Amino acid sequence: MNFSAKNVFAFLNYQFKASIIKSVINLCKRVLGKANNKVAKSSKKKPSTSGPSVLTRDQHNVSRKKMSNNALKVLYRLNSGGYNAYLVGGGVRDLLLGLTPKDFDIATNATPEQIKDLFRNCRLIGRRFRLAHIVFGREIIEVATFRGHHENAPEKEQSCQKTSKQSEAGMLLRDNIYGSIEEDAERRDFTINALYYSAKDFKVHDFANGIADIHAKKIRLIGDPETRYREDPVRMLRAIRFATKLDMTISKETEAPINELAPLMANIPPARMFEEFLKLFISGKAQLNFTQLRKYDLFRYFFPATDRMLNDGSHPHIEQFIVQSLKNTDSRINNEQRVTPAFLFAAMLWYPLQSHVERLRDSQPHMSPQDLFFAALSEIMSEQQQSIAIPKRFQAVMKDIWILQDKLSRREGKRAYKVLEHQKFRAGYDFLLLRAEIESTPENFILQELAKWWTDFQSTDNNTQELMIKSIVSPRAGSRRTPRKRRKIRDSNPSDHN
Ligand code: ATP
Ligand code: MG
């Protein structure tokens, strides 16, 4: 099978026409009152899914050759165990678009316990949304049981806290009501994500006109957008993410409620926000996602202090600094270089940290620079943790990057060699380069000179390094008489950067 864009779109074009014909037939059936009762009933509440269009193997380009062998093994095992199983979501969507899927998700009518009985390498996870993870070394295939509608669940289950729970605002706190494949399709977020591929007959089932939307490059929620955002506000972030990732636009109805419903994001647990941060910012599309999140006023739910500074214009470099750090991250990812989320966290919070230091210095003029830095760090981190739960290992790297900004400016004696040996030297040096690029002005070259000094220092021989250290004009040359004790405090001062 040839996967050229031309072929992909020929298939899509074919299917687009087929789905229009199918829609017209469905409409006629409904007008004549012959439409399937269940579909008609649910389409009143959730109008976007009708009976599926089915594409046979010769009508689509979803090939097993492009799928993970482990995902195929799981599909085959579920089928031979007597269950229905489908590849669904990004796995089908991205293959239809000629892209390489990030992961392969499977949906089945087997319950989590039945899945566990079939696979020795299975772990059941999640309370809010119970799932099976089939573990193959580093690859995990996620298998979900078809979800049903909460209102269709037997009364006993609706009232059972363990299977279903909804907040007063309509947010689904637990979603473990199982149902049919049709219901599962209606519970999915976007039309382009409700495509199901069967490894039994190689057919793709399209429940919500997803193929037509792939063709039209539209991100469209299934059902009533407001209800769907209230059930799960993260869908607002997902709409943005898929639009930038797939170079599509968000449909008008799906876009319309975002501004008004954005405050619902405040209810999302910080641990989930961390996951969403990674998907949006460690994806190769960070810069675009940042612009879109700002446009819809969603960025503040990730970095409230940064967002405030961006809005009040209190710092001349902050926006440029963030944009450049995101550009660098994107290009590293697109060149398959390693990135650490800690660098981006450090960049996002750099100016808010400086402003905390300044505010504290004004109110507590007797505090040592070191104490000022650690007090500001603790304030900024405790505010930030309420939005995103940044794991401890990344917090430690952020702190190292910030402390290195001071250490990099102290190069006398043996200090430069010690800094070079610092475990996080590279990240700290890259951060300095970024600062030098953005913060330097025609009147102020200090940072640029410092950055150049470190670039040269790393690439030269030992003798030249010695000469470079000797040639530094110490800013403290005139303060020899400073008592020893005071100098010691200054040596470890991490917040005085220039
Ligand atoms: P990618 O893996 O490329 O980010 P994806 O569409 O596969 O995209 P996942 O987060 O892996 O996204 O989710 C798999 C599928 O599960 C989605 O395609 C969608 O059908 C469904 N899904 C995920 N999150 C939600 C949600 N919040 N609401 C409704 N359905 C969801
Ligand atoms: Mg996926």
Same domain? For 150 and 41 the reply is yes
For residue 53, the surrounding DSSP H or E stretch is: strand 53-55
Establish if 264 belongs to a structural domain. no
Q: Are residues 210 and 276 in the same domain?
A: no
For residue 216, what are the domain limits?
Answer: 5-236
Whether 139 and 182 map to the same domain: the answer is yes
Q: Which two tokens stand for residue 277?
A: 């941060």
Residue with tokens 């089928």: 79
Whether ligand 1 lies within 6 angstroms of the CB of 400 is answered as: no
- My answer on whether 71 and 116 are in the same domain is yes
CA 389-390-391 angle, 5° bins = 110
Q: Say if residue 172 is in the same domain as residue 299.
A: no
**Is residue 263 one of the residues assigned to a domain?**
no
Residue 28 lies in a domain: yes
The reply to whether 107 falls in a domain is yes
Q: Which residue, of 184, 213, 236, is where some domain finishes?
A: 236
Instruction: Give the distance (Å) from ligand 2 centre to CA of residue 142.
Output: 9
- Find out whether the beta carbon of 276 lies less than 6 Å from any atom of ligand 1: no
Question: What does each of the 498 residues of the chain score in pLDDT, given as a tens digit?
Answer: 344 444 544 554 555 555 555 554 544 444 443 333 332 333 334 445 557 899 999 999 999 999 999 999 999 999 999 999 999 999 999 999 999 999 999 999 999 999 999 999 999 998 778 899 999 999 999 999 999 887 655 554 554 555 666 777 777 666 678 999 999 999 999 999 999 999 999 999 999 999 999 999 999 999 999 999 999 999 999 999 999 999 999 999 999 999 999 999 999 999 999 999 999 999 999 999 999 999 999 999 999 999 999 999 888 899 999 999 999 999 999 999 999 999 999 999 999 999 999 999 999 989 999 999 999 999 999 999 999 999 999 999 999 999 999 999 888 878 878 988 889 999 999 999 999 999 887 777 889 999 999 999 888 888 898 888 888 876 554 444 444 444 443 433 444 333
Which ligand gives the minimal distance to the CA of 71?
2
CATH number at residue 301: 1.10.3090.10
- Both 289 and 221 in one domain: the answer is no
Of 236, 254, 278, the domain-final residue: 236
- Interval between CA 391 and ligand 2 midpoint (Å): 23
Count Cβ atoms below 10 Å from residue 410 Cβ, excluding itself: 20
- HSE, side-chain direction, 13 A CA sphere, residue 345: 26
**Residue 37 within any structural domain of the chain:** yes
Which of the residues 94, 105, 307, 330 is marked catalytic?
A: 105
Structural domains counted in the chain: 2
Tokens representing 351 are: 């100016």
191 lines ligand 1 (CB under 6 A): no
281 and 415 housed in the same domain: yes
* Residue 358 shares a structural domain with residue 426: yes
What pLDDT digit, counting tens, does each position of 186-205 carry? Answer: 999 999 999 999 999 999 99
Smallest CA separation from ligand 1 atom 14, residue: 89
Residues 110 and 63 occupy one common structural domain: yes
Asked whether residue 252 is domain-assigned, the answer is no
Same domain, 218 and 86: yes
pLDDT tens string 397-456: 999 999 999 999 888 878 878 988 889 999 999 999 999 999 887 777 889 999 999 999
Q: Given 103, 224, 297, 496, which residue is catalytic?
A: 103
CA angle 53/144/267 to nearest 5° reads 105
CA 235 to ligand 1: nearest atom: 27
Q: Are 219 and 274 in the same domain?
A: no
| 166 and 281 within one domain | no
CATH number at residue 93: 3.30.460.10
Catalytic residue flag (residue 224): no
> What count of residues does the chain have?
498
In a domain, 212, yes or no: yes
| pTM (predicted TM-score) | 0.83
312 catalytically annotated: no
Domain boundary among 236, 261, 294: 236
Note whether residue 249 is domain-resident.
Answer: no
